[in-house]
Structure 1
Amino acid sequence: MNKDSRASCGPVEGRLAGKIALITGVGSGQGREVALLFAKAGALVIGCDINADGLAGTQDLARDMGVTLDLSVVDAADEAKVTSWADATAERYGGIDVLYNNGAGVHFAPFADMTLDQWHDTLRMELDTVFIPSRAVWRHMIARGGGSIVNIASIAGMRGSEVIGTAGPAAHATGKSGVIGFTRQLATEGAPHWIRVNAISPGPIFTPAVEQVVASSPEFRRMFDGMSMLSRFGFPIDVAYTGLFLASDESAFVTGANLTVDGGTTARTGASFLR
């Protein structure tokens, strides 16, 4: 999927050497790409997902690459399991340096058709999955003398989106707006402890889930292809390299930021659907 020669690339070896990194949602897509890249950069990666088959696929890829991942089936919205997972990691490896909050879920529906259950479940999957792991690692990062938390938001949390078919993003937009606001507040409270907290807002990123929608909806494909200023859509590796920067000591003076990885989508008004 990352076959475009203009996808993000560059040397990674040693950039996270000695870092203990927890990553949620590593069973596919962006989370899988981040886990593999962080491990290649020298981090000890402890990853989780709710999908055991997805974790097995990620582990197979890691084995082929010659890197090691410590993977577990954990729901990032389950407070007890996430707390145990973080505590066990800190005890086993001596601390936690990085938390990458990638795990999430969503229900899409036009606002007029969205149920209260869909609304509540989306907010749980997009906010609790950031709040719970962050709280679980907080005291460990304080004990460590600092750390980096990276939250995956979305450009949907920054601007309204056209409803195409049944893909109404009201709950998704609200959840990701919350992630951005939470990031800024947590950065403020983490600063005295040298805990940096930043968000990444991806735009048109071609993941397996998006591929299914693109294949089934010509209208969505036209919109997706026209979002970026650049002559391509994004790949999970584009997001992963941004996460690598934020997790590393290269970004030691960056906190409270929301970095867009969207090919310039949010920097302009309108979009070209003619490509």
Structure 2
Amino acid sequence: MGDRLKGKLAVVTGAANGIGEGCARLFAAEGATVIGVDRSGADESCDLLDEVAVGALFERIGAEHGRIDILVNAAAFAVFEWIEKMRYADWKATLAGELDIVFLATRAAWPWLKASGRASVINFASANARHALEGSPALAHCAGKGGVLAMTRQLAMEGAPHGIRANSIAPGFILTAATRDHLASDPAIEAQILAKNMIQRLGEPEDIGWCALWLASDEARYVTGADIAVDAGATAW
């Protein structure tokens, strides 16, 4: 398709499906060398909540390539439940699956991002980082994504002296294998989503991937500490 990322090395977590897969595919089409990471079904299999395994993986990638130019933290896990029913174990699992998973990969990649001198970290926040989600038992998810938003701003500050930019994307409802199952379980959900959307369709992974591609490229060289809503205008009114 093009060469907007020609010569860049990108590591994409959660690359086996959904938004991560969409980003990995677009990045490769635009000239990047892409290393996809997931529990299975990707270039590299890794439990991204295993501190030792994550450290070893990024040390190996860095030693082989000498740098990491782009880190996309798309891997995530969350339990949705109302506060009265949420178990503490599920709360902790969600915070690990949305915060720890970003921290561990970013910390392990940091020396190699510094070695790039022109690196980009892309995290995924959510409308839930700023707004309650009407009718959704998303307490732990809101806390996790709020943390990602705050973490990304701090990373932007810490990374700036080293040429590392850090930004987040806040996706709207995106069609993935998991969300398609969610839609199938309750036909009313799609109408509820579209009632909020200015653009009357559901999002696809590529819709997020194009934004991530821009943030990863040198076209966004003056952009850091930003959170970009890609949500069909759902949070704009």
How does the TM-score come out when normalised to structure 2?
A: 0.97
The alignment covers a number of residue pairs equal to: 237
Stretches of 4+ aligned residues off by more than 6 angstroms: none
Post-superposition offset of 1:221: 2.3
Q: Per-residue deviation at 1:123?
A: 0.1
Equivalent AA in structure 2 for residue 222 of structure 1: A
Aligned to 1:103, the other structure's residue is in SS state coil
Larger radius of gyration: 1
> Which segments of 5 or more consecutive residues in structure 1 lack a partner in the other structure?
1-11, 56-70, 269-275
Q: Is the Cα–Cα contact under 8 Å of residues 215 and 221 in structure 1 kept in the other structure?
A: no
Gapped regions of structure 2 (runs ≥ 5): none
Contact 1:204/1:228 (8 A) holds in 2? no
Counterpart pick for 1:187 among 156, 162, 172: 156
**Match status 1:217 vs 2:189:** no
1:91-240 matches, cutoff 5 A: 91-164=63-136, 168-240=137-209
Give the Å deviation of 1:219.
2.8
Percent of pairs with identical residues? 41
Deviates more, 1:86-95 or 1:123-132: 86-95
Counterparts in 2 of 1:227 and 1:206: CA distance versus 1, 3 Å: farther
Query: Is the contact between residue 180 and residue 258 of structure 1 (CA under 8 Å) also seen in structure 2?
Result: yes
Distance, in Å, in 2 between the alignment partners of 1:131 and 1:123 is 11
Provide the C-alpha distance between the structure 2 equivalents of 1:220 and 1:232, rounded to a whole number of angstroms: 13
CA distance in 2, matches of 1:76, 1:227: 34
Q: CA deviation at 1:232?
A: 1.0
Q: If the length of structure 1 is used for normalisation, what is the TM-score?
A: 0.84
Note the aligned Cα RMSD (angstroms). 1.1
Conserved in 1, the CA contact under 8 Å of 2:68 and 2:115?
no
Partner of 2:7: 18
Distance 1:255 1:97 in 2: 15
Distance 1:250 1:257 in 2: 15
| Counterpart residue number, 1:48 | 37
